[in-house]
Amino acid sequence: MKSLIRSIVLIFIITNITQLSAQDLSARDIVEKSNNLFVGKSSISTMTMTVKRPEWSRTFTMQSWSLGNDYYIIYITAPARDRGQVFMKRKNDMWNWMPSINRMIKIPPSMMMQSWMGSDFTNDDVVRANSIVEDYTHKFLGEEEIEGLDCYKVELIPLPEAPVVWGKIIMWIAKEKYFQLRTEYYDDYMELINIAKGSEIEIMDRKEIPTLLSISPLDKPNNITELKINFQDFDIAAITESFFSQQNMKRIRPRNN
């Protein structure tokens, strides 16, 4: 009998420690875990982006390299007319190498809200991956179920001096998994502008992540851009900060996975 009581007490203690551990995570902690999920310390990936419009659609393939949230290179592999074009992020700066005209362009702040490669993503979306952690306050709004998964619902409001374009962001982040299943982007007037959704959960290099990200603007309901991750490896020691240079943008080539 005493042994049974001790077992029940032990189970109770372990259960409560687990619950307390989850409760100790702040809204910011959860957003940061979600933000870090896709890159790890470093990563390399191949992706397909499809831009869909009522009259046409266009597909790009690309390879990317990342180091944390501050360094990123994207090499366009198709279509032929865009092949070899390279984009690089270093912290908050962004460059575009265009081999067809032998020109390196630094993307100015005035162009950050322009469409990236004709898609529903903006240049700002490419550059500011770490901004959702550093430039916003974070608040729990509750819990909701998305696609059969229990999610934290978190509100992000920009800090007064933060150089961001959104007036508010709301995220639905899967419990325990920490991937984003839905994100809503609002302007300064609190009007909903874009909705992003994550789906097609797969295991990439031992990580379970959504491999399909779709984004659609509310003012153009028939427009959508889908980004499919075909392959991704994490924590690659060979990727260092020196890899992300303008010189390397000109000579980098995609690798076969």
The 10s digit of each residue's pLDDT in 52-90 is 999 999 999 999 999 988 899 999 999 999 999 999 999
| Cα(220)–Cα(119) distance, integer angstroms | 12
The more confidently predicted of residues 135 and 165 is: 135
Distance CA 71, CA 91 (A): 6
pTM of the model: 0.85
Is 62 within 8 Å of 75 (Cβ atoms)?
Answer: yes
Q: Are 116 and 128 in contact (CB under 8 A)?
A: no
pLDDT (tens digit per residue) in 167-211: 999 999 999 999 999 999 999 999 999 999 999 999 999 899 999
Q: Which of 89, 193, 97, 95 is nearest to 131 (CA)?
A: 89
2-251: which CATH topology?
outer membrane lipoprotein receptor (LolB), chain A (2.50.20)
